[in-house]
Amino acid sequence: MKFLPDSKSSKAYAENQTQKTIKCLRTDRGGEYVSREMSDFLKAAGIGHQMSPARTPQWNVIAERTNRTIAEKGRWLMFHAGLGKCFWAEAFNTAVYLKNLSPTAALNNVIPEEAWSGSKVDVSHLRIFGCRAQKHIPKEDHRKLNKKSAP
């Protein structure tokens, strides 16, 4: 795979948000991080690169467990809401979102979003996944006595 085009902007964004610098990148040998271009970028930025041996997911236990947790939570969200598999992306994105709003032992029971942003998290916007919702119908698409929203 080629060097990820947004790696430079991702690095800048992370460093600006946290006021910290990236010191080391740990990856598997999946391909997206082993190009010459990526190696040159990391070297120029003074970032170390630690790679696990090829085809050894057991060396990356935390990431593998996190992936499993997200997959299980995503499947559960779809099942509980009675939604089909076509909603897997929304369910998995929601699982990641909820994980980042939940305390974790890795951060001494601090919420990852709070550790990242440095401010308390407001969860009042959360709703039950798969609950009935209404979408707004723009003014130009409805008449005076018609509905202004639809399921």
User: pTM for the full model?
Assistant: 0.70
Assigned token pair, 69: 């947790």
Per-residue pLDDT of the chain (151 residues; tens, 9 = 90+): 334 457 788 888 888 888 889 999 988 887 778 888 889 999 999 999 998 887 887 888 888 899 999 999 999 999 999 999 999 999 999 999 999 999 999 899 999 999 988 889 999 999 999 888 888 988 888 788 888 888 8
Place of tokens 């060396």: 59
Dist CA 69 CA 129 (whole Å): 17
Options 3.30.420.10, 3.40.50.300, 3.30.420.40, 1.10.150.120; CATH for 1-55 is 3.30.420.10
Dist CA 29 CA 45 (whole Å): 20
Q: How is the chain split into domains, by residue range?
A: 1-55
According to DSSP, residue 45 is labeled: H
Assigned token pair, 59: 């060396």
Looking at residue 96, its amino acid is V
* Residue 27 bridge partners (DSSP): 51
